[in-house]
């Protein structure tokens, strides 16, 4: 039937490099997106090492790039196949897979005076071969070509999921990086941007000091004390004071950036506490930039939504905000971004714009992505 929802799969592997998320989503013109099933495949350590090396490479060989892309594509294909197999769905029942790819470098304002670029490692042709599904990919570069930042792209999906005319809502993604989306109550164009690092530095510092891959519930950060001098030095980074549109990544906020601000005498737990505070303070600053101190509902998604210490810090910075998890809307906090790329694939195939110029700064709305036949 024409009005039956179509099935799409969104594939996302974010800046935390923790794995590939695959979300099966039902999409129809007049109904909100519905999350039907999910599957996550953890990032194998070897591939994680290959990708991290690319993220921090000054120079890289084509063979290294190809090897990482090949392994990454096979991981994505396994995630799609597992999702379909687990729920007994045939590949041809899926209208398309929306593949974000793996961001290895993001320089929307150019690098050293060069042209703007954003690089997502991806091989949609191979993915189509391996899965038998139509693939939509390369979502970011059309926005970039139209003068935009190419990120964040999820705000348009945030609007589709969470807009409400009864209250001011802000959506916060706490992934490797944090980004916010304000959904004005009056239906005006959403505003939003990347506020800075979220888990990327917390994870790196935690791993470096043998506290596991990430700081479970923020317990280690909670055991330390914020170092006000260090916090002030970190917050002086010009990115935090740039007007929107703005987006960022590992090129700026990497372990070396943190090291360059340390005096050497700090206790590791205090540094972790200070990094958590940096995330909360920069998010609060970003929200203040958009909404002042008006009351709002803050809908939190991304892995950081599980970090109790980080959420406490946010609440302390935002006394007029009601903090809620995206789970309360029936869309689990961990599955918003994968859902966004299913939705963006749907937008592409229906020739609908996927970007929000009010967020990315692009010259106009654009249909995003390229299509790879099954
Ligand atoms: N229970 C928990 N306690 C603390 N932190 C957690 C917990 N669960 C997940 N996280 C954090 O969430 C991170 C993963 O978040 P997520 O998957 O949203 O990131 P991502 O999608 O890679 O990032 P981005 O949105 O920047 O692309 C982990 O690396 C970890 O730091
Ligand atoms: C270039 C890139 O991959 N950026 C990511 C990253 O992770 C969070 C934040 O920085 C956001 O700008 C974006 O991802 C989401 C999916 C977005 O485009 O909305």
Residues 112 and 66 in one domain: yes
**Average pLDDT of 349-358?**
98
Residues 185 and 312 in one domain: yes
Enumerate residues lining ligand 1, CB below 6 A.
14-16, 18, 173, 175-177, 199, 202-203, 214-218, 302-304, 306-307, 337
Atom of ligand 1 nearest to the CA of 17: 22
Distance from Cα 263 to the centre of ligand 2, integer Å:
31
Give the Cα separation of 194 and 173 in Å (integer): 9
- Please tell me the total count of domains within the chain: 2
1-39: per-residue pLDDT in tens?
A: 446 899 999 999 999 999 999 999 999 998 999 999 999
Among protein residues, the one whose CA lies closest to atom 25 of ligand 1: 175
Contact 265, 30 (CB under 8 A): no
Atom of ligand 2 nearest to the CA of 103: 3
Residues 68 and 45 in one domain: yes
Residues 72 and 160 in one domain: no
359 lines ligand 2 (CB under 6 A): no
In a domain, 94, yes or no: yes
Among protein residues, the one whose CA lies closest to atom 15 of ligand 2: 152
Give every CB contact of residue 43 below 8 A, 6+ residues apart in sequence: 13, 17, 18, 19, 20, 51, 75
Contact 128, 135 (CB under 8 A): yes
Residues 172 and 77 in one domain: no
Domain containing residue 361: CATH number:
3.30.420.40
Residues 339 and 325 in one domain: no
Select from 10, 14, 141 the residue to mutate for testing ligand 2; criterion: most ligand atoms less than 8 Å from CB.
Answer: 14
Distance from Cα 343 to the centre of ligand 1, integer Å:
21
ipTM comes to 0.98
pLDDT exceeds cutoff 50 at 256? yes
Output the CA torsion sign for 216, 220, 222, 226.
negative
- 273 backbone dihedrals φ, ψ, rounded to 5°: -60, -40
Residues 92 and 165 in one domain: no
Give the Cα separation of 82 and 76 in Å (integer): 10
Domain range enclosing 80? 6-151+335-372
In a domain, 164, yes or no: yes
Residues 311 and 355 in one domain: no
Residues 14 and 142 in one domain: yes
Give the Cα separation of 34 and 330 in Å (integer): 9
233-253: per-residue pLDDT in tens?
A: 999 999 999 999 999 999 999
Per-residue CA distances from 17 to 25, 216, 315, 331 (Å): 23, 17, 27, 22
Residues 118 and 234 in one domain: no
């Amino acid at each position: 039937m024409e009005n039956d929802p179509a099935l799409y799969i969104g594939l996302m592997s974010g800046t935390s490099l923790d794995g590939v998320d695959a979300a099966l989503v039902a999409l129809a013109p007049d109904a909100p997106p519905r999350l039907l099933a999910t599957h996550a495949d953890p990032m194998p350590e070897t591939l994680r090492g290959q990708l991290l090396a690319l993220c921090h490479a000054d120079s890289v060989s084509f063979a290294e790039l190809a090897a990482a892309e090949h392994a990454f594509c096979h991981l994505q294909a396994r995630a799609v196949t597992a999702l379909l197999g687990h729920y007994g769905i045939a590949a041809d029942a899926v209208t398309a897979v929306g593949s974000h790819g793996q961001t290895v470098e993001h320089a929307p304002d150019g690098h050293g005076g060069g042209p703007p670029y954003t690089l997502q490692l991806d091989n949609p042709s191979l993915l189509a071969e391996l899965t038998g599904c139509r693939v939509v990919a390369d979502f970011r570069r059309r926005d970039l070509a139209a003068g935009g930042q190419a990120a964040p792209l999820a705000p348009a999906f945030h609007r589709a999921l969470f807009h409400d005319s009864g209250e001011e809502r802000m959506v916060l993604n706490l992934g490797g990086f944090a980004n916010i989306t304000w959904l004005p109550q009056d239906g005006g164009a959403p505003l939003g941007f990347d506020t800075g690092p979220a888990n990327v530095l917390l994870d790196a510092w935690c791993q470096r000091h043998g506290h596991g891959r990430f700081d479970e519930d923020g317990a280690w950060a909670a055991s330390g004390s914020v170092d006000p001098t260090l916090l002030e030095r970190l917050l002086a980074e010009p990115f935090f004071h740039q007007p929107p549109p703005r987006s960022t990544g590992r090129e700026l906020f990497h372990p070396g950036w943190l090291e360059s601000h340390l005096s050497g005498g700090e206790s590791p737990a205090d540094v972790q506490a200070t990094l958590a505070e940096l995330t909360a303070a920069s998010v609060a600053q970003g929200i203040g930039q958009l909404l002042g101190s008006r009351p709002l509902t803050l809908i939190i998604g991304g892995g950081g939504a599980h970090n109790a210490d980080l959420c406490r810090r946010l609440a302390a910075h935002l006394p007029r905000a009601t903090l809620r998890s995206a789970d309360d809307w029936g869309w689990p906090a961990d599955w918003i971004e994968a859902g966004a790329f299913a939705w963006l694939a749907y937008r592409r195939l229906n020739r609908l714009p996927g970007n929000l110029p009010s967020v990315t700064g692009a010259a106009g709305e654009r249909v995003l992505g390229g299509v790879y036949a099954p």
